[in-house]
């Protein structure tokens, strides 16, 4: 595990080959709380969950410790809430060839309006190849 920001405690841990967990712990509630994002390093790198906007500097610093952020190809998330995709547009600005990757319903009701770049909308069960890895919606 590598701590990328000593003040916040944000850290990166390679959980298996080419897949990294980015963790930012918070002590706002008893027992603590943390935000997690997952980076899949591949020919077409994917960041799963962008984190909220206020954490963008910490998460982007963590991603940059693994790879240049501008290499990101996909920004994906399980659902539309601030902690899953709040910093989506910040990522779209720093990663010029990236695109949101989400389900068709999320694209229709939220992401086509919220995102500064059109999403790649996936059908249930659709698979996207990242290179060595693939993800299935």
Task: Tell me the pLDDT of the chain averaged across its residues.
Answer: 96
- Cβ-based burial of 81 (10 A; exposed 0-12, middle 13-18, buried ≥19): exposed
User: What's the pLDDT score for residue 29?
Assistant: 79
User: What's the pLDDT score for residue 1?
Assistant: 87
Alpha-carbon separation of residue 128 from 25, 43, 55, 63, 125 (angstroms): 31, 12, 27, 21, 10
Query: Computed over its alpha carbons, how large is the radius of gyration of the chain?
Result: 14
Domains of the chain: 2-136 (3.60.15.10)
Q: pLDDT-based confidence at 32, cuts 50/70/90?
A: confident
The pTM for the full model equals 0.95
Q: pLDDT-based confidence at 30, cuts 50/70/90?
A: confident
């Amino acid at each position: 595990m590598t701590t990328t920001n000593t003040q916040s405690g944000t850290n990166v841990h390679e959980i298996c080959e080419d897949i990294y967990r980015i963790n930012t712990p918070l002590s706002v509630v008893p027992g603590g709380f943390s935000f997690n994002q997952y980076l899949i390093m591949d020919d077409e790198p994917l960041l799963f969950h962008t984190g909220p906007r206020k954490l963008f500097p910490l998460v982007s610093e963590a991603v940059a410790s693994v790879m240049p952020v501008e290499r990101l190809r996909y920004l994906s998330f399980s659902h539309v809430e601030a902690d899953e995709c709040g910093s989506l547009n910040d990522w779209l600005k720093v990663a010029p060839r990236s695109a949101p990757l989400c389900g068709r319903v999320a694209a229709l009701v939220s992401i086509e309006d919220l995102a500064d770049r059109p999403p790649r909308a996936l059908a249930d069960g659709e698979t996207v190849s990242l290179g060595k890895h693939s993800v299935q919606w």
